[in-house]
A and B are shown apart, each in its own frame.
Chain A
Amino acid sequence: MSAKDRNAITALWDFFCSLKLTIITLILLAATSIIGTVIQQGRTPQEYLQVYSESTYRLFETLGFFDMYHSWWFLALLGIFSINLIACSIKRFPLVWRTVRNPVLIADDTLFRTLSNMEEYLVKASVAEVQGQLSTYVGQHFAAPVLSEKDGVVHLAAQKGAWARFGVYVTHLSILIIFIGAIVGSLWGYKAYVNIVEGTEATQVYPRGANEPIELGFTVRCDAFSVSYYEGTGRPKEFKSLLTVTDGGRTIVEQRPVIVNDPLTYKGITFYQSSFGPAGDPTFNFRVKVRATGETVDVAARQGERIALPGGGSFRVADFTEQFQNFGAAARLEVAPPAGAPRSFVVLKAFPEFDVQRGGEYIFALVDYKQRFFTGLQVAKDPGVWIVWLGCALMVIGSMVAFFLSHRRMWIAIRPVGDKTGIKIGGSAHRNQPAFEIFFDEFKKNLKTELKV
């Protein structure tokens, strides 16, 4: 390798180790992410062409703005972000590892000079006495000190929370773990949906953005679906599907209620209550009284079906809703009387006597109705999700450690000075120095009392 190549590699390495790169990448990620919140993602070309001109559409399409979080340039930014993070950690970690594994046991004058809170004083006692007193005191009020001797000077070194220095690396690692989890999920997982009509079953689900259905390998049946509302309002309270899972003829789960915020999981595949809708037209039971004769008949009708009535008239259900202006279920009927023009009016299920007042030839009461529903389920398989949660847990722990704990160190040098003993004491914290100063000042004050200085 030539010197030029080596220079190029060093330059590249320095580039990826630089914190400026970190800041710029983070700002770029923040700024570009805005695009995908302004331009709707993953729509059809037709939908885009309604909003944008053809040339704008082409430009955005080329730039990957319609699926920007998976575009090559956004992924490249995330890649640079990851490499930067790894390079910075590789560069700095060995130094930190050495600091933690081989703590400085002997503080020389140069080190003491860097400590802003260094103090020096003399006591009337022998070196051995002072050493014993100090060891006990530091051990009791800070951490057990390590003793060493060099050139007739006794050194005490004590430290606390050395591992706090790893917090930032745990945080960095956690981001990479989350990325790995996301990649595992996108390679071996899927997001799909399936609509199951009440009383029927499904063995396949349909992934988003693909045509081929996925075989579940087991059967899911929807036994029933229901919506309930808060009393007196149209505000939905609960969407509920009763699901039964059978696998190889064996019933695994029977009539398990699945509601929003309470999914069902089997064999790593999870079913979420997501939507619902009517399956086919509802069927109705009406009680019809002929006003003139008092004759009463019970009739069953499907929506739109024309039903003959006694006396030569007929009717059909033109429309139906489960919730009509807070009055509950209502049907709009079109009645063709034996003579005269057809009439159209609304019958409320909750008020069976109401139609008497209309004064028509026939009096209608909606006795009950049956609407079959389908339940819309989101189906997800994500084997990477636990890796993501591991990463998240590490991120929380790592950032808490990095922000709120610090590596605190203390050094003491004891040397004979004439018939007295000289003490030099200093300490530092790698983060939140002011808080350490408060502790250390108090510590030194109490120490002086202890030593009777």
Chain B
Amino acid sequence: MLSSQLFNIVTIGYFISMVLFVVYLSTRSKAVVLGGTALAYLGFLVQTVAIGLRWYESYQMLGADGRAPLSNLYESVVFFAWTILLIYIVIDLKYKQRAVGAFVIPFAFLAMAWAQLQLNDAIEPLVPALQSNWLTYHVITCFLGYAAFAVACGVSIMYLIKSGKEEKNASGSPAGGILSAFPSTRILDDINYKSIMIGFPLLSLGIITGAAWANYAWGTYWSWDPKETWSLIVWFIYAAFLHARFTRGWVGKKAAWLSVIGFAATIFCYLGVNLVLSGLHSYGG
């Protein structure tokens, strides 16, 4: 399949982009970071084409049973990488803080590498449970939300590293070395908040479309199945984050930790539930 080869190229592109971003942190070379950014954008374009192609190929292989490439673990991981890049590009265009790429592109690369090396990429027709338009709405909203949380997590890690170093310096002077390439903690905090502001309504929509679908297919919009419960856990954590922003004693580091914990819970909701626990979403694994 041509799409599969394109996905391989995308994976390599994200890898080189990631390396360039890390090199930039130590060299602060404008040319290097421009290369990293260009590769990330280019990789996103090629991946968009590849996803479209896989969609087309599904019709070639399955005839009328073709469907959007959003239906198994391989396809969802690839789509997750794509959404991470999409949110990253939105944030990059708005803030132009290049160093952020060093902490976000690795998520996309890891996802693509895992999908290409480990997961089954066969195009198979949909089982009856998944034959619904709700599948598309549900998957798209959930993963855009997850991706925004991935960006927020990367930025929060930067925040924690930077503020930790600045505290150690005691003088409160901005940190030097690699950290001088980082945006200021104020900007990092702002990007963190903005990303979660994008992600939270999308996650809410993802949970709601999932509930609507469950109600349509099974007659219950909520059954406390592990996947549902974990999505609610993620929702609770980010709701706590959003309220922490207005509460003295909870801004800064604690909020950044909530963002990191929130993303860890997101990843468990996405992968851990399927790999470790059992429930209604088992076909996703």
Contacts and interface: CB of A to CB of B under 8 A. Distances in A.
Interface of A: 19-20, 22-23, 26-27, 29-30, 33-34, 36-38, 41, 69, 182, 191, 230, 235-239, 259-261, 263, 270, 272, 274, 378-380, 382, 385, 388-389, 392, 395-396, 399-400, 403-404
Contacts of B273: 37
A270 B65 CA distance: 28
B208 A396 contact: yes
Kindly state the interface size class of chain B when it binds its partner. Answer: 35 or more
B204 interface: yes
Contacts of A400: 201
A261 B132 contact: yes
A352 B236 CA distance: 62
B224 A274 contact: no
Interface stretch (B23-31, B49-57, B176-184, B212-220): B212-220
Nearest to B228: A37
- Interface core residue of B239, B265, B273 (most chain A CB under 10 Å): B239
Contacts of A260: 128-129, 131, 217
Contacts of A235: 124-125, 127
Nearest to B132: A261
B227 to A, nearest CB: 9
Interface of A (DSSP majority class):
helix
A236 B246 contact: no
9 contacts: A26-B237, A26-B243, A27-B237, A69-B224, A239-B128, A261-B217, A263-B216, A263-B217, A382-B221
Nearest to B196: A403
A168 B230 CA distance: 24
Given A30-B233, A236-B127, A261-B129, A37 B219 contact: no
A395 B204 contact: yes
A23 B247 contact: yes
Contacts of B240: 22-23, 26-27, 30
Given A41-B224, A378-B219, A380-B219, A33 B232 contact: yes
A230 B217 contact: no
Does more than half of chain B's interface fall in helix, strand or loop, or is it mixed?
helix
B116 to A, nearest CB: 24
A151 B124 CA distance: 78
Contact of A37 (B204, B215, B230, B244): B230
B265 A191 contact: no
- Please give me the 8 A-B residue pairs with the lowest Cβ-Cβ distance, nearest first: A380-B219, A30-B236, A26-B240, A260-B128, A37-B226, A261-B132, A19-B247, A392-B208
Given A239-B128, A260-B217, A263-B219, A392 B211 contact: yes
B219 A395 contact: no
Contacts of B232: 33
Given A69-B224, A236-B127, A260-B128, A22 B243 contact: yes
A404 B201 CA distance: 10
A23 B201 contact: no
A22 B201 CA distance: 19
A30 B237 contact: yes
A159 to B, nearest CB: 22
Interface of B: 65, 124-125, 127-129, 131-132, 134, 197, 200-201, 204-205, 208, 211-212, 215-222, 224, 226, 229-230, 232-233, 236-237, 239-240, 243-244, 246-247, 249-250, 265, 273, 277
A379 B229 contact: no
Contact of A378 (B218, B226, B239): B218
Given A239-B128, A261-B132, A33 B211 contact: no
A430 B211 CA distance: 33
Nearest to B240: A26
B128 A395 contact: no
B221 A388 contact: yes
Nearest to B198: A403
Contact of A396 (B124, B197, B205): B205
A274 B129 CA distance: 10
B128 A261 contact: yes
B37 to A, nearest CB: 23
Contacts of A37: 226, 229-230, 273, 277
B246 A403 contact: no
Contacts of B134: 261
A180 to B, nearest CB: 14
Contact of B236 (A29, A382, A396): A29
A33 B236 contact: yes
Given A27-B237, A191-B220, A230 B131 contact: no
A399 B65 CA distance: 37
Contacts of A239: 128
B115 to A, nearest CB: 22
Contacts of A41: 224
Contact of A36 (B131, B217, B224): B224
B221 A274 contact: no
Contact of A272 (B208, B217, B236, B237): B217
B247 A20 contact: yes
Contact of B131 (A19, A261, A274): A261
B60 to A, nearest CB: 16
Given A33-B232, A260-B129, A403 B201 contact: yes
Nearest to A240: B128
Given A379-B219, A380-B220, A237 B129 contact: no
Contacts of B230: 37
Contacts of B208: 392, 395-396
A182 B222 CA distance: 9
B77 to A, nearest CB: 22
A403 B200 contact: yes
Given A239-B128, A260-B131, A399-B204, A34 B233 contact: yes
Given A37-B277, A69-B229, A237-B128, 9 more contacts: A23-B247, A26-B236, A27-B240, A36-B224, A37-B226, A230-B125, A237-B125, A388-B221, A403-B200
Contacts of A399: 200-201, 204
B233 A261 contact: no
B220 A23 contact: no
Contacts of A23: 240, 243-244, 247, 250
A424 B239 CA distance: 40
A86 B277 CA distance: 35
B128 A385 contact: no
A26 B239 CA distance: 7
B224 to A, nearest CB: 5
B124 A274 contact: no
Nearest to A392: B208
